[in-house]
Amino acid sequence: MDLYLNFVRPLFFSGLKADPEWMHNQFIGILANLSQRSQQPGFHWVCDRLYHSYNFDDPRLAQTLWGIRFRNPLGLAAGFDKNGEVGQLWGGFGFGFAELGTATWHAQSGNPKPRMFRLIDDAASLNRMGFNNQGAAAMAGNLARVGHADNTTTDRAIAIGVNLGKSKITELDDAAEDYRQSFEQLHDFGDYFVVNVSSPNTPGLRSLQDPDRLARIFDTLQTVNKTVNTTLKPNRQPADDSANSQLQAKCTQSKPILVKIAPDLSWEAIDDVVNLAQQFDLAGIIATNTTISRDNLKTQTIAATGKPIADEAGGLAGAPLKARSTEVIRHIYRTTNGTLPIIGVGGIFTAADAWEKLTAGASLLQVYTGWIYEGPNLAKRIMQGLLDRLDAHGLERIDQAIGLDHR
C-alpha cells in the first residue's frame, strides 16, 4: 500500500484545503533543515532511512554525459528547489540529479499570490510564480552548505544543475549581462547550467528565444566558460578540506550549458534555437517548460480565484503537456540526428511516460508535477519500469534506449 497515494495526497489535495504554495514552502523548509544538519547523528539517521526507502540503484540505469555521472536518468525539474536549499538530499528520493533554481541575479519576490494551482481533474498544475528567489549570491551560499556530497556518501552523490533566469528589473537588452553575473557567481556550484528563456511568467522573457538576443547570451556565457581557468576565483566558503579539494577540481572546468525552451514555439523557432545551440557549442536542450495553451482541459474554473481557466495567466504543466513535450523532443532528436543531448520534461507520471520520452530522443528526464501527484515512490517505480522495458527490448543499458524510436 502506498501511504502517499492513499493518505497523504487526499489530505493535502482535498482535506487541508491549504494553499499549494504554502504547503510547498513547508515541505522545502523541512527538507532544507534536514539537508543542512545531515551530518548530525539523528538527522543522519533520517537521511539514511530516506535513502533506503526511496532509492533504487542499478548500474544499467547509470550513464555519463558531459563528463558527469548520472546514476539514473530521472531528475527533479527546476522550480521545486528555487534557492538550492535542499541540494544533495534530493538524491534521497531516488533522483539521479536535481536542477535547482531558477535563480536570478537580483533577489525578487515574484508575482502576487495566489500563483500556484492544482488542476486535479487534469493531473496538472498552473503556476505564475515569476521567478521568486533569493538571488544568485544567496543560492551560492545555500549550495556551499548542501550542494556537495561529503566523503562518506559519495556513492550517493547526485549531479546538480543550476537554472538561470533574467531578473525582472533588468531590461531585455541587458539580459546577457544579467545571466553572466549569475553564471559567474554560481559557476563553482553546478555540474551543468541552464539558460531559462522560456518561463511565461516574466514579462518579455520568452522573446529572449529570438536568435539575436539568444546569441548574445550564449556568446557571453561561453566566453566566461573559456576564461574561467584564469580569471574566476572560488567564491564559496567550503565547509571543510574535502569540500575545498572538490571545489578546486570544479573551478578549473568549463561547465556544460543547456537552454530550456517553451513548448509553444513553432518548429521554425525551435530549429533556430537548436542551430544557435550547435553554433555556440551548447551541451543540450531542455524540452520543455510549461505551456500557455489551455486546450482540452476538463477544469473550467480555478476554485481559489473563481475565474475561468482561460482568464488565468501562467504556465500549465503535467499530463496536458506530455504529448507536446515529447513531440518537441522527437523533432529535435530527428533534426540533429541525435547529436545534441536533450533533457525531456513535461507530464511524466509513469515508467511508460519516461520510456516514451527516452525512446523519442531524451537522454535524461525531469519531473515536477508528476512528483506532486505520485509522491516519493515515483522515482523507484519509474526505475523498476525502465529496467523491465530494457529487458523486454533486450537492451543492456539505459543509453541504448535513447532515440530507439528513430532506429
Ligand X SMILES: Cc1cc2nc3c(=O)[nH]c(=O)nc-3n(C[C@H](O)[C@H](O)[C@H](O)COP(=O)(O)O)c2cc1C
User: Where does this chain bind ligand X (CB under 6 A)?
Assistant: 77-79, 82, 102, 116, 125, 127, 129, 131, 163, 196, 199, 260, 289-290, 317-318, 321, 345-348, 367-370
Q: Which three cell numbers stand for residue 342?
A: 536533450
What minimum distance in Å lies between the beta carbon of 4 and ligand X?
Answer: 17
Cβ(308)–Cβ(300) below 8 Å: yes
DSSP E strand boundaries for 227-339: 257-261, 284-287, 301-302, 307-308, 315-318
Nearer to ligand X, 156 or 353 (CB): 353
What minimum distance in Å lies between the beta carbon of 103 and ligand X?
Answer: 9
Q: Which of 35, 38, 167, 199 is catalytic?
A: 199
Burial of 167 by CB count in 10 Å (0-12 exposed, 13-18 middle, 19+ buried)? Answer: buried
Nearer to ligand X, 140 or 345 (CB): 345
Distances (CA, A) of 260 to 64, 119, 160, 174, 284: 21, 24, 16, 19, 9
What minimum distance in Å lies between the beta carbon of 320 and ligand X?
Answer: 9
Q: Number of C-alpha atoms within 13 angstroms, CB side, residue 234?
A: 14
Nearer to ligand X, 260 or 330 (CB): 260
Nearer to ligand X, 269 or 395 (CB): 269
Cβ(401)–Cβ(389) below 8 Å: yes
Contacting residues for 20 by C-beta, under 8 A, at least 6 apart? 116, 117, 118, 125
Q: Which residue has the CB atom at the shortest distance from ligand X?
A: 79
Q: Number of C-alpha atoms within 13 angstroms, CB side, residue 123?
A: 14
d(CA 168, CA 105): 10
d(CA 25, CA 303): 21
Contacting residues for 352 by C-beta, under 8 A, at least 6 apart? 385
Active site residue 266: no
Nearer to ligand X, 20 or 147 (CB): 20
Which positions are annotated as active-site residues? 199
